[in-house]
Chains A and B, each alone.
Chain A
Amino acid sequence: MTASMQKILESKLALRRELAKRPIAEKLRMLDAMREREVAIREKARPR
């Protein structure tokens, strides 16, 4: 693995750890928002 790729993976893991440490209520609100977006995308992608 190249040094730059290693750096990218490390920064991704750091972001995931930072998100994991956020208050649970905030993380659950993020889940709500992610589901709303996913439902909207699926609705738009549905053949008419």
Chain B
Amino acid sequence: MSIRDVIATLNQMEADRVIERYAIGGAVAATFYLEPVATLDVDVFVAFGTEPGKLIATPKQIFDYLLARGSSMKGEYMMIGGWPVQFLPPATPLVEEALAQAREIDVDGVPARVFSAEHLAAIALQTGRAKGKARLLQFLEEGALDGPRFQEIVQRYGLVDAWTRFERQFISDKP
């Protein structure tokens, strides 16, 4: 069971042109910047292609490729290297940008593309889930963010109010 196997498979899928570009998000991506964050699955963001004659983009090509190479499906997940991997389309402009501007980070000689810390933090803010807010706090407490870059993303994606609420709730002591 190894995340490295997942990364190697994603790189091979890119080399084989099954996917154009991938980036890892979620807790696994956060682990590149923070302490390891326990998770049960891997979120991989990819732009899905369209099948000939169809208008709706699907991950069918990805599934077919992986099934032919011994992976299995478990619900919405593909099992790779023992990990359930979920392939997700970039559903918002912020996630699209996170995918386009993802960083390539070396893992013992294997390149892995992951969302930047600032995009992960902004997505957590935008999503507004409890675990996302906890992760955002971790990024802040551990000084893992480029502050000006994060604030620039917050402003550009209309997250200033959400940030103000978050600050009031978790950072300042103001009622």
Residues of chain A touching chain B, judged by Cβ–Cβ distance below 8 Å, are: 13, 15-17, 19-20, 24-25, 27-32, 34-36, 38-39
Task: Find out whether the CB atom of A20 lies under 8 angstroms from the CB atom of B34.
Answer: yes
Q: How many residues from B make CB contacts under 8 Å with A?
A: 25
B5 and chain A: residue at smallest CB distance: A32
Q: Which of B31, B35, B40 is within 8 Å of A28, CB to CB?
A: B31
Task: Find out whether the CB atom of B36 lies under 8 angstroms from the CB atom of A35.
Answer: no
Chain A interface helix/strand/loop/mixed: helix
Task: Find out whether the CB atom of B1 lies under 8 angstroms from the CB atom of A16.
Answer: no
**What total of A-B pairs shows CB separation below 8 Å?**
60
Task: Find out whether the CB atom of B39 lies under 8 angstroms from the CB atom of A35.
Answer: yes
A39 and chain B: residue at smallest CB distance: B40
Bound CA–CA A27/B32 (angstroms): 8
